[in-house]
Amino acid sequence: MNLLSDLAFGFSVAFTFGNLAYCVLGVFVGTLIGVLPGVGPLVTIAVLLPLTFGLPPEAAMIMLAGIYYGAAYGGSTTAILVNLPGESSSAVTCLDGYQMARQGRAGPALAISAIGSFVAGCFGTFLIAILAVPLTELALRFGAPEFCSLIVLALIATAVLVRGSMIKGIAVALLGVLFGLAGIDVTSGVDRFTFGVPGLIDGIPFVVVAMGLFAFAEIIRNLEHAEHREIYSAKITGLMPSLRDLKDSWAPILRGTAVGSFFGILPGAGQTIASFGSYAIEKKISSTPERFGRGAIEGVAGPEAANNASAQCAFIPTLTLGIPGSGTMALMLGALMIQGITPGPRVLTSHPELFWGLIASMWIGNLLLVILNLPLIGLWVSMLKIPYRWLYPIILVFSCIGIYTVNHSAIDVWLMVMFGVLGYVFMKLDCEPAPFILGFLLGPMLEINFRRAMLLSRGSFDIFITHPISAGFLLAALALIVLMVIPTIRQKKEEAVLEEE
Amino acid sequence: MRLTKDLLSGVMFLAFGAGAAVIAHGYNFGTPARMGSGFFPVVIGVIIAIMGVILIVRSLLKPASDEAVGELQFRPLVFISAAIVIFGVLIEDAGLVASLAALILVARLAGREGSPLELALMVVVLIAIAVGIFIYGLNIRLKLGP
């Protein structure tokens, strides 16, 4: 069977000394930074992105993927120990994980979260390997109308499912599309929205947008809120979960994995909804639902597995179709483009070493998380004590040098400030920035495919409906919008994506 | 009139959308079958502007559903922005050491805590780390001094 030989090839790439080292480094640095309060995965990846420019593509992607799930795992650690979710998807873990920590059971909570994540990660990796070939084969038959509608679906799904109002989400995504168009129009050679600024001719650099919108705005938000944290660090005694814990957890882990994989593949749905969904399921089917919120281990095991499964499966649309389903995946895709690789279904055949190496490294990375993290809990806990006034200068130093070195241009640094201010305004107006980065990245692709499709149809919009796959995507996008107009569903969504602040 | 979140977002989207549509109107528009470089940005700009109008109208019709903008603290925004802008000004001529020192010192004004000794230590350590990673580790050509 091909699958095994492909995976074996992937492992042969991932197990070379250099790539393994980058995987270890990525997971370690990712967890380290993910644990730091106020620094989520998006910020981590945005800030560290420039460090990978000099690496070969597979090494860069392997390291970034390591940072990605390292940071996600670090977020769970802070959720359990300090009741502070590193990202919104860990918010659910706070509910029971923190209660477990208060009862002196931080060790088992952390261990179960690691084990659950590992099981989910293994399954996720396997699922990517199975689905990659058929999905890319399907996508290779997509023409311009199909891609156009698929991008519309991805943008709508992300915009509709983020926190806050649907109209704002869509408007932010489209604003991203608009900013993505700045620079030379590839079809006509005219430069658009450059305002005579020489640095803008090649378009606004992706890293500039990502760092401004996420890192800069996040720093200001953190500085506006005074620090207060309580850490239950003294009480971490037994790390190993008891037999009873394992017995209680295995089924929630498997169910969480299934829920997470499903939501991970869908564009836009993502980890937050997956972990919330899993928590709701566990609570519903439990014979003792009153234990939830008071330190039930099932409430940690299920959501953590779901979170990680969906984090893994989010790579499926990103790698096979070139369409990211979340802000973080948009960053990964942006990194790929900076490496000079055009994302899309052709990556699998043109860069098999990158594709399979990355998949194999994900599994290795998940294993590393378990091996590295449990013994290093002490280190992570001490990281938690670092005050934010030490952290933000570090983030600033790395982002400023990182931005500057992309093109050796001070204009990029100033542009970052502009996007930072935009991010700050978004934040104050309750507009989520994630759809912006997605729109920014997909905007040029959307325009090119839209133009091609309209050229094919000689100017008739019917082409998007007469092509069945394209019609299906548009119908799905429409269905999402209609669903969100129904009040009860909208309320459920708001509960699911509620971010603890 | 209350300055609420939805109202202001609406104004922002309307301004961006209409502005973009007006600018892009100056580019060749073309026909749907043979689009010029202006077609797509005009369409997107108009849609954004419409969404802005919807937000504004909704906020005016149902003011109760709209929240007021939270308290604004300009201190972090101003000093962090200034720190980065100054870094950009200094990096090309004054070199890495001076620009980083300025970045950290100005950014420090955004917060309120910490002793001068701590700040001095941070400047020294961070510059050392940055030089170590970027210049020696990653071999990026950056001037250290003027």
Distance (Å) from the C-alpha of residue B61 to the closest C-alpha of chain A? Answer: 16
CB B140 to CB A424 under 8 A? Answer: no
List the one residue out of A35, A152, A122 whose CA is nearest residue A82.
A35
Please give the DSSP secondary-structure letter assigned to residue A226.
P
Predicted local distance difference test score (pLDDT) of residue A280: 86
Q: Do A387 and B113 touch (CB under 8 A)?
A: yes
Query: What are the chain A neighbours of B87 within 8 Å (beta carbons)?
Result: 400, 404, 413
Tell me: the pLDDT tens digits for A383-424?
Answer: 777 888 888 898 899 889 988 988 888 899 999 999 999 999
Q: Which of A65-74, A221-230, A289-298, A442-451 has the lowest mean pLDDT?
A: A221-230
Q: What pLDDT band is residue B81 in, cutting at 50, 70 and 90? A: very high
Task: Please report the pLDDT score of residue A72 as a whole number.
Answer: 80
Mean of the per-residue pLDDT values of chain A: 85
- For the four alpha carbons of A104, A105, A107 and A109, in that order, the dihedral sign comes to negative
Tell me the pTM: 0.87
Cβ pair A178:B85 closer than 8 A: no
> Closest chain A residue to B140 measured between Cα atoms?
A405
For residue B48, give the nearest of A174, A430, A461 by CB distance.
A174
B13: left (phi over 0), alpha (psi -120 to 50) or beta: alpha
pLDDT at A499: 44
A191 forms beta bridges with A184
Q: Do B111 and A223 touch (CB under 8 A)?
A: yes
Nearest to A224 among B45, B51, B73 (CB): B73
Residues 72 to 101 of B: which have CB under 8 A from any A CB?
A: 72-73, 75-77, 80-81, 83-85, 87-89, 91-92, 96, 100
Whether chain B has a CB inside 8 Å of the CB on A478: the answer is: no
Task: Compare B8 and A4 and report the one with higher pLDDT.
Answer: B8
* Cβ contacts of A457 on chain B, cutoff 8 Å: 33
d(CA A416, CA A300): 38
Say yes or no for a CB contact (<8 Å) between A389 and B16.
no
Least Cα separation, residue B62 to chain A (angstroms): 15
Q: Tell me the pLDDT band of A226, cut-offs 50, 70 and 90.
A: low
pLDDT digits 0-9 by tens, A447-499: 999 999 999 998 888 899 999 999 999 999 999 888 888 777 777 777 766 54
Asked if B12 lies within 8 A of A425 by C-beta distance, the reply is yes
The number of C-beta contacts closer than 8 angstroms across A and B is: 178
B111 CB within 8 Å of a chain A CB: yes
Identify the closest residue of chain B to A187 by CA–CA distance. B37
Q: What are phi and psi of A378, to 5 degrees?
A: -55, -40
Q: Report yes or no: A348 and A301 within 8 Å, Cβ to Cβ.
A: no
A 299-358 near B (Cβ less than 8 A) = none
- pLDDT-wise least confident of A13-17, A485-489, B2-6: A485-489
B4 → chain A, closest CA residue: A429
Contact criterion met (CB < 8 Å) for A429 and B85:
no
Q: Which residue of A has its CA nearest to B101?
A: A397
* C-alpha distances in Å from residue A287, one per residue of A93, A99, A113, A241, A296: 20, 20, 22, 21, 12
Q: Which amino acid is at A22?
A: Y
Cβ separation of A428 and B72 shorter than 8 Å?
A: yes
pLDDT in tens, A76-120: 888 888 777 766 677 788 888 888 888 888 888 888 888 898 999
| Interface predicted TM-score of the whole assembly (ipTM), two decimals | 0.92
Q: Which two tokens stand for residue B2?
A: 């209350």
Instruction: Give me the amino acid identity at A308.
Output: N
Q: Provide the pLDDT for residue A501.
A: 33
